[in-house]
Copies of this chain bind each other. A is one copy, B any other.
Amino acid sequence: MYQRLDIKTGKSTIFTVMITINIIGTGNLAWHLATNFATSPSIKLQQLASRSPKNQEDFLTSFEEVTTIDKLRSATITIIAVTDNAIAQVATQIPYRDSLVVHTSGSISIDAIQAKRKGVFYPLQSFSKNDTVDFLTIPICLEATTQEDIAILQTVATSLSTIIYQLNSAQRKKAHLAAVFANNFTNHCYTIAQEICKKEDIPFELLHALIEKTAQKAITSSPSEVQTGPAKRNDTSVITTHQDMLQDEDHTSIYNTLTASIISHYGKKL
């Protein structure tokens, strides 16, 4: 929705406009975005462009046209949903300069886009293939250089999610770094837990309730307030037993690094 001021009468009118979207990219995020935008009555998916034509079949029904970057026509927003390293180059190939171009990356600056009207539309979630994604609860981090463009991005974001943040490039990069700890690193810890279980014929399901509860507690409390375990208690006897049990060099190295950090973190607090 936009608010338009009538200069003659001084009255403002709220009205709905159709937002046209071009998407560049055919990866997981492009697919999830297209699928969800397709259900919004105020959004029209105009063109899809990709660098490689091989993954375009899945998108055919959602867009008016599937094409190449050089054949894109101006839209309200052009969303670049390609790998971080390709963003800058893809942006230069867009054949119009009159409308808003955004990327979707957590770690790339808004300035990677060489365009007059540029922005960032970063949904903070880990998108896997074949995953069902309910955008409603996925935070979307927005950045633009003018309030008008922020308003457009907010309209688009609102069509997907109820959680919208405005972050500048420095904040977004830090949020992405924090997300690496909260997602990438925790998931790798789950993977190691699963490997340990597998070696002893212990079903990984044994840990499901613990994994779920740990995440829930971090959300409802502050994670530092619910830390438990041998490192938190500085229980050297259990820690030594664990170190003796570990057979993989990487597992040992992670165990020691995290244990030392927890001991130091909570030792300081005492």
Contact = CB atoms under 8 A, between A and B. Distances in A.
Interface of A: 84-85, 107, 124-128, 131, 137-139, 141, 163, 165, 167, 170-171, 173-175, 177-194, 196-197, 199-219, 221-232, 235, 237-238, 241-242, 245-246, 250, 253-255, 257-258, 260-262, 264-265
Contacts of A224: 191, 194
A88 to B, nearest CB: 12
B261 A177 contact: no
B178 A128 contact: no
Nearest to A235: B84
Given A179-B207, A182-B189, A232-B184, A254 B258 contact: yes
A192 B127 CA distance: 22
Contacts of A253: 257, 260-261
Q: Which one of A170, A200, A253 has the highest number of Cβ atoms from chain B below 10 Å of its Cβ?
A: A200
Contacts of A185: 186, 189, 254, 258
A181 B192 contact: yes
Given A174-B197, A187-B218, A202-B171, A128 B226 contact: yes
B217 A131 contact: yes
A209 B174 contact: no
A221 B191 CA distance: 11
Contacts of A171: 200-202
A237 B184 CA distance: 17
Contacts of A201: 171
Per CB-CB distance, the 6 closest pairs between chain A and chain B, nearest first, are A184-B229, A215-B215, A190-B223, A186-B186, A182-B193, A178-B193
13 contacts: A85-B235, A107-B241, A128-B217, A174-B197, A175-B207, A178-B207, A180-B255, A181-B189, A183-B211, A186-B189, A194-B222, A194-B223, A211-B218
A173 B241 contact: yes
B138 A209 contact: yes
A184 B227 contact: yes
Contact of A210 (B84, B183, B216): B183
A189 B137 CA distance: 22
